[in-house]
Chains A and B, each alone.
Chain A
C-alpha cells in the first residue's frame, strides 16, 4: 500500500487579514491536481462507514476513486446520482460530524480523515463549469403527475430535482423574490457564493422544474387550491421565524435577529449599499448571541461590514459549540472574540432608544439536560457589561407559521412543527408530504436534502398508487 499522507492535502484560502474586509469566498477549493493527490489518501474501504454516515448516502469511495483516476466526469455522474446540490453540501455540511467523522483513515492514530467535503466541492464545481444545461433530457413521454413543492430551500429543491428526474411536472413555489431559501438569504457569500447557488438552481430548472417566486402559499395561493390542482405536494417551508430571548431592551435600535441581519446582507445586498437600496447599520462594537453556524455567519459578516470589535456570547463552552469547527477556526482567525459560558440578561439603552451595551452574566455547567449537554446555570453576582452598538440574536428559529395558520387540518407536533414520518415525509393528510426544518426544527442543509430524497420516493409511490386505483363514481 502506498504511504498515505497523515494530513489532508492543504487547500488554498484567502488570508485572514484580507478576507475580513471582503465578502469573497474564504476557501478557494482544490485544483484537480490537488484533488487527485487527496483522493489517493482514501482507503477505498469495502464497507465504507462514510457512506452510512452521509444523510444522502453518497457512494463516497466511488466518486473519490474516479477523482484519483482523473476522471472528473465520472465522479460528477456518481455524485449526481445521490445529491442534487453537491456544490452546496461540499461547502456547508458539518463533515466532521458526518462522513469524515467515521473515515477509517481518520481513525488511525495521528491521521486526519480524507477531505471528503472538499473533494465533493471540487467535483461539483467542476461539473457546474463544464456541464451543458441545454443538453438536459427533455423526455417526450407524458408526465406521470403534477407535484407542488412549497419552499425552494435545500429540501424543496431536492424533491423537485428527484421528481423531475422521475418524469413529474414539478412547480416550486417560493415566497421571496429569489429561490434558494437559507442558501440565498441565510448563508453568506464568503461561505457559499450566490453564483454557485444560482448555478445549482439552474441545473435543477434544466431538469424541467418550474420555480414561481413571490408566491406565498396560504396567502397568494391557498392550500385548498394546491390540493385541487396537484396530485401531491411537498411542504418544505423551513423554520424561518426568529426567536427572541425577550429580555429587557429587545426593541432598542441596534438589536437584530440574525435572520434580519443576514437577510439584509445576503438577499438584499446591503453590504453594497447604496448601490443596492437596503441599508444596514454601520457598527463599531457588535455582540452576537449564540453558538451555531448562524451566529458565526452573523459575526463574520459584521466584521466584514467594518465593525472594530465583534464578540460572540455563548452560554456553554467551546466543547458544546454547535457550529462547524471550520467556521469557528475561520472566525478566530478573523479576530472574532469569544465570551464562553456567558448569557445576556439585558440590553442597555443609551437614553435615546439606541443600544449602548449588553449586560451579561457568567454561567457554569450543571447536570446534563435532555440533549445530553451539560446545562448552563448562571453564577450569582457575576454580571458585567460589554459595550455594544449592535447586538444580533442567533438563538434559533421556530416554525414558519404563515402557511400552517391557514391550513389547520394539518397535524402539528407539540413544538408547532409538522408531524411527518421522518422515513417517508407522510403527514396526516394523504398526498401532503413534508420535510426539512418544518418537520425537524432548524437542522442542517444535508438533513433537509435527505428528507427531500426519501419524500421524493414516497411521493412517486403515492401518485402511482393513486392513479392505478380506479376512480369510484356514484352509480
Chain B
C-alpha cells in the first residue's frame, strides 16, 4: 500500500497528489512515469511523475478526471492509500544543453512537460515555454513553469488568459523572433501532431511524449505499441518520448479510441452506484 500524504484540487477536474513511494522517488528522472492501481478491482493506469522529494520519499503526480478510475482516485484524501504503484517506468528525457529550447504543454500535459522544462533549464538551456488550456481556470502549474522559463506564453481557447488561440500560433510567433534549437510538445495527441508539423516546417527537431493505452508498463504486452519510423516500438520501454516527425500519428490517434465504448460503460456504471450509495 502506498500512502497519500497530500492532495490538492487544481481546477474543476484536475488533482494534484503526493504519495509515499521512497524507492520510486529515489530513482525517478524527468520524463519517467508510474503505473498505479487504486484498489483490488482497479485497472493499471500510467501517470507521469511531476516531481519527487527524495528526502521524504515522496512522488507527485497530477491527473485529470476523465473516467471511472480517475473519478475514484479523485475521491481519495491525504491518509488514504493506493493499492499498487510501480516505477519509475520508461526512458528518461535526454537532458542536455541544446541552446534555446521551446517547450509546449497543453492541458494536463503541462504536468508532464514541467519536470522536463525544469531539467532543461537546470542544464543551462534558454527555455521559452508555451502553455495552452481551454480556459484560464484549467491552466495548471503556471507559477512553477514561470520560475524555470526565460519566457512564458499562455494561450487559451476562449482568450480568458493570455493570447486567444492555439499553441501552434504561439509557436509560429516565437519561431519568427528566435532561433530555436530543440522543441518539446506534450499534451493531447492531436496537439502534439500539429506541434510536430509546425516544428518540422521550420526544421526544428521536436520530441513528443506519447500516452497510449498501457497495462503492465514493463514491455510484456505490446498494448502501447506505436510505429516509429516504420518500426514497432513499445512506448512503455522505448519511450514515452519519441521524435515527433517519426511517429505514425494516424495509427497512434486511432488506437487511443479502442475502448471508448467500454470506458463509457464503466463510468456510467460507477456513477449509478455512486448516486445510489451517496444520493
Contact = CB atoms under 8 A, between A and B. Distances in A.
Contact of B219 (A221, A244, A274, A401): A401
Interface string B246-263: 001011001101110011
B221 A274 contact: no
A400 interface: yes
A277 B68 contact: yes
A414 interface: no
Contacts of A221: 23
A213 interface: yes
A278 B44 CA distance: 8
B41 interface: yes
A348 to B, nearest CB: 15
A241 B216 CA distance: 11
A221 B89 CA distance: 12
B218 A402 contact: yes
A220 B42 contact: no
B222 A400 contact: no
Interface stretch (A261-269, A335-343, A369-377): A261-269
Given A176-B216, A263-B216, A273-B262, A278 B87 contact: no
Interface string A279-321: 1110000000000000000000000000000000000000000
Nearest to B253: A353
A250 B87 contact: no
Interface stretch (A104-112, A199-207, A251-259, A419-427): A251-259
Contacts of B24: 220
Given A219-B88, A401-B237, A240 B219 contact: yes
Interface string B215-239: 1101111110111000010000100
A402 B227 contact: no
Nearest to B24: A220
Given A219-B89, A244-B232, A257 B222 contact: yes
A216 interface: yes
Contacts of B248: 251
B69 interface: yes
A259 B41 CA distance: 20
Contacts of B257: 253, 353
Nearest to A212: B23
Given A175-B86, A220-B87, A279-B262, A268 B27 contact: no
Nearest to A174: B86
B84 A213 contact: yes
A59 interface: no
Interface in B46-98: 68-69, 83-89
A400 B23 CA distance: 22
Instruction: Tell me the dominant secondary structure on chain A's binding face.
Output: loop
B44 A244 contact: no
B266 interface: yes
A214 B86 contact: yes
Contacts of A220: 23-24, 27, 86-88
B3 interface: no
Contacts of A259: 220-222
B164 interface: no
Interface string A219-251: 111100000000000000000111010100011
B200 interface: no
A253 B258 contact: yes
A401 B219 CA distance: 8
A74 to B, nearest CB: 38
A101 interface: no
A274 B262 CA distance: 8
A251 B225 contact: yes
A3 interface: no
A330 B137 CA distance: 59
A277 B42 contact: yes
Contact of B86 (A177, A257, A401): A177
Contact of A251 (B84, B88, B251, B263): B251
B220 A242 contact: yes
A353 B227 CA distance: 14
B220 A277 contact: no
Contacts of A402: 218-219, 237
Contact of B27 (A219, A263, A275, A281): A219
Contacts of B263: 279
A96 interface: no
A384 B81 CA distance: 54
Nearest to B86: A214
B269 interface: yes
Contacts of B83: 177
Nearest to A246: B232
Interface in A37-74: none
A274 to B, nearest CB: 5
A250 B257 CA distance: 16
A278 B215 contact: yes
11 contacts: A176-B86, A215-B23, A222-B27, A251-B255, A253-B257, A259-B222, A274-B262, A274-B266, A277-B43, A277-B266, A353-B257
Interface of A: 175-177, 213-216, 219-222, 240-242, 244, 246, 250-251, 253, 257, 259-260, 263-264, 268-269, 273-281, 353, 400-402
Given A175-B86, A220-B24, A220-B27, 17 more contacts: A216-B86, A219-B88, A221-B23, A244-B222, A251-B255, A253-B257, A257-B223, A259-B220, A259-B221, A263-B216, A274-B262, A278-B43, A279-B266, A281-B258, A353-B250, A353-B254, A401-B237
Closest 5 CB pairs of A and B: A279-B262, A353-B254, A277-B43, A240-B220, A260-B221
